[in-house]
Amino acid sequence: MADIPGLIAGLTICPDVVTPVADKQMLHRAIANLVGIPLAQRRTGNNSLWMAFDQMGVLSFLGDLITLREDNIMYLQIRPTRTVPHPVPIPIMWKCKTVIIVATYHHYAPLKNVSLDMRFFPVKLFDHFRISLYHHDEKIIPWQVELPSQVNAKASFLKSIKPNSKEYKIFQDDKSWLPFRESTETTIMSHNLVAMILPPYEIDPNMGEFVTDPITDKLIPYEPDDPRLDEIQRTWFFKVPVDVCQTLVAKKIMNQNRDTMDTRKVWYELCTHYQNSMSSKMLSQQLLQYAHTAQLVNSGHRGTNQASISNFAKIIRQYQALQTDENKLSDQMCVDFLNNSMRGTTHLEGVLDTYCTARKAAGIPDHSTLLLKNMLKGLSRQLNHTTRLSDKAVIVVDEALIST
């Protein structure tokens, strides 16, 4: 019995560049090995299938054969010529096997996510597909094309999304910038309009900076995949910030971009201004001061301990959201702030220290990126143990942690 998983794992993939000679060899070898027509009959020029391919211009595998539909192959016939006035009909099994070759390629190529080199395709794997997997009544779907069920599901979902400008939060003053930004981004995602607030210029993936055209010395504008759809979406979405942005600076930005309706540039300018505004800087200072000095034992907090922990996690998240990447708090600093806030609270202050000591004794190193999550999880477990919190309350604490 053939080792099918091993055969699939050993499939040969095409090189980055497939030469015309290699592509032609793929067709020759596939017909010889999988259909069973000796290559010598290709050379003699008297084989009916090869004669029909020549008349149709099918000279290669990737370039020609897999572009044919099933009916193109099944209705294949030889046109009479002077040299062959009464051509022999093409055997039906040759046509069927040729169709199955195309189906085989489109079935196994997605498993490798790359084009297969059919010169070396195993006959045993072809026979397995032909006998056990292939259904002659199913349409062959090219491997780089979504299945009809996938397309229909996506189209149905997108059709069900009905953007409504009334769902966007009003931006009334500078102090409300952060909740406005977060609410707007969430609503945009739910409306499937994320492309409307992408950076307005191309970004270097390595440097993370805008790309400048070396000839004009200007920033290269963002190019949408579908310009016509993008124009329709921009025309609709531009009305959203016009309606909801009520601050003086925001209105000025809208007026400056009214002619182009470039929503990406509008959002970029709004973020650039308000992330660095005096209100945002003052809010950042207040959030940082709270994170640095707050202690549960001295706070006079009258709610539950888990509410206090969740609020602390929220403060950290809001501070980080107002900072550029280089100014954000490190993971270790967030851990230190949270650890400090628990000092003096008997059943909570030793959670992180105990955790780290146990991990160190076991020889398991901890990265700072995990400490904050692990501390909050430890706090939630400790709260659950001492106050018998419900599972839902513990989940709330864990989710507050994840949001940071």
Region class of 161: left (phi > 0), else alpha (psi between -120 and 50), else beta: beta
| Mean pLDDT calculated for residue range 54-60 | 90
SS3 345: coil
pLDDT over 80 at 27, yes or no: yes
* pLDDT, tens only, 249-290: 999 999 999 999 999 999 999 999 988 888 888 888 888 888
User: Pick from 195, 186, 182, 187: which is nearest to 164 by CA?
Assistant: 187
Q: How far is CA 222 from the centre of its chain?
A: 19
Mean pLDDT for the stretch of residues 315-328 = 84
Across the chain, what does the average pLDDT equal? 81
Lowest mean pLDDT among 74-83, 240-249, 346-355: 346-355
What per-residue confidence (pLDDT) applies to 364?
A: 64
Q: What is the pTM of this model?
A: 0.49
Percent of the chain's residues with pLDDT above 90:
28
Tell me the pLDDT band of 160, cut-offs 50, 70 and 90.
low
Tokens of 172: 């009334």
The confidence score (pLDDT) of residue 387 equals 45
Selection from 76, 152, 138 nearest residue 106 by Cα? 138
The answer to whether 294 and 332 have CB atoms below 8 angstroms apart is: no
Reply yes or no on whether the pLDDT at 404 is more than 90.
no
Please tell me the predicted confidence (pLDDT) of residue 200. 92
* Per-residue pLDDT tens digits for 10-22: 899 998 888 999 9
Torsion angles phi and psi, residue 220, rounded to 5:
-85, 120
Q: Break the chain into its structural domains and give their ranges.
A: 4-133, 165-275, 279-402
Q: Which residues contact 59 (CB under 8 A, 6 or more apart)?
A: 24, 27, 53
Contacts 24+ apart (CB under 8 A), 194-201: 195/224, 195/230, 195/233, 196/233, 196/234, 196/237, 196/263, 196/264, 196/267, 197/263, 197/264, 197/267, 198/222, 198/264, 199/264, 199/268, 200/262, 200/264, 200/265, 200/268
Q: Contact, 397 vs 380, CB < 8 A? A: yes
